[in-house]
Structure 1
Amino acid sequence: MDTIVTASKLTKRYRAHTALDGVSFELHKGEIVGLLGLNGAGKSTTLSLLTGRLLPDEGSVSILGHDLSTDLRAAQACFGFLPEGAPLFEDLTIEAHLKTLAGLRIGISADDVSSAIKRFNLENVRTKTIETLSKGYKRRTALAGAFLGNPKILFLDEPTDGLDPFQKDSVLESLASHRDEQTLLISTHSLEDVGAICDRIIVLSAGKKVFDDRTIALAARAPDGTLKTAFADLLQDAEAQS
Structure 2
Amino acid sequence: MDPVIQLSQLSKRYKNFSAVEDVSLEIEKGEIYGFIGLNGSGKTTTIKMLLGMVRPSHGSCSIQGRKIELSNHSMWANVGSLVETPYAYPELTVKENLEIFRQLRGVSDADAVHQVMEQLKLTGYADKKAGKLSLGNTQRLGIAKALLHKPEILILDEPSNGLDPTGIIEVRELFQHLAKDLGVTIFMSSHLLSEVAKIATTIGVIHQGKLLQEIKADGFKDLLRKRLVIDAREKDRAMTELNNAGYSAVFNKDGRIETTADYALQYPDEISRYLVSSGIPPTHLALEEEDLESYFLRVITQRKE
Fold conserved between structures, TM > 0.5: yes
Q: CA separation in 1, counterparts of 2:162 and 2:179?
A: 24
Q: CA separation in 2, counterparts of 1:191 and 1:24?
A: 21
Provide the residue aligned with 2:134 in structure 1: 134
Deviation at 1:111, TM superposition (A): 2.6
Deviations 1:135-184 (A, max 9, x none): 11111111100111111111111111111111221121112211132111
Deviations 1:65-114 (A, max 9, x none): 22112643123222111112111111111111011111112345323222
Provide the residue aligned with 1:198 in structure 2: 200
Contact 2:23 2:210 in 1 (8 A): yes
Q: CA separation in 2, counterparts of 1:124 and 1:151?
A: 24
Asked if residue 182 in structure 1 is aligned to residue 184 in structure 2, the reply is yes
Deviations 1:6-53 (A, max 9, x none): 111101110111111111101111111110111221111100110000
After TM superposition, the structure 1 = structure 2 runs for residues 1-242 of structure 1, keeping only pairs within 5 Å, are: 3-69=3-69, 71-107=71-107, 109-180=109-180, 181-223=183-225, 224-240=289-305
Go from structure 1 to structure 2 and tell me whether the alpha carbon gap of 1:84 and 1:144 turns closer, same or farther (over 3 Å shift): same
Contact 2:3 2:65 in 1 (8 A): no
Report the AA paired with residue 202 of structure 1.
G
Q: CA separation in 1, counterparts of 2:114 and 2:37?
A: 35
Unaligned segments of structure 1, at least 5 residues: none
Report the AA paired with residue 234 of structure 1.
V
**Structure-2-length-normalised TM-score:** 0.75
Q: CA separation in 1, counterparts of 2:135 and 2:107?
A: 30
Q: CA separation in 1, counterparts of 2:30 and 2:71?
A: 24
Report the AA paired with residue 64 of structure 1.
Q
Contact 2:113 2:148 in 1 (8 A): yes
Unaligned segments of structure 2, at least 5 residues: 226-288
Contact 1:218 1:231 in 2 (8 A): no
Go from structure 1 to structure 2 and tell me whether the alpha carbon gap of 1:233 and 1:219 turns closer, same or farther (over 3 Å shift): farther
Count of equivalent residues: 240
**Structure-1-length-normalised TM-score:** 0.93
Report the AA paired with residue 18 of structure 1.
S
Higher relative CO (CA 8 A, sep ≥ 6), structure 1 or 2? 1
Q: CA separation in 2, counterparts of 1:77 and 1:61?
A: 17
Q: CA separation in 2, counterparts of 1:99 and 1:2?
A: 35
Give secondary structure in 2 for the equivalent of 1:220: helix
Larger Rg, first or second structure (1 or 2)? 2
Identity of aligned residues (%): 32
Deviation at 1:129, TM superposition (A): 1.5
Give secondary structure in 1 for the equivalent of 2:105: coil
Q: CA separation in 1, counterparts of 2:197 and 2:62?
A: 28
Give secondary structure in 1 for the equivalent of 2:223: coil
Give 4+ residue runs of structure 1 displaced > 6 Å after superposition: none
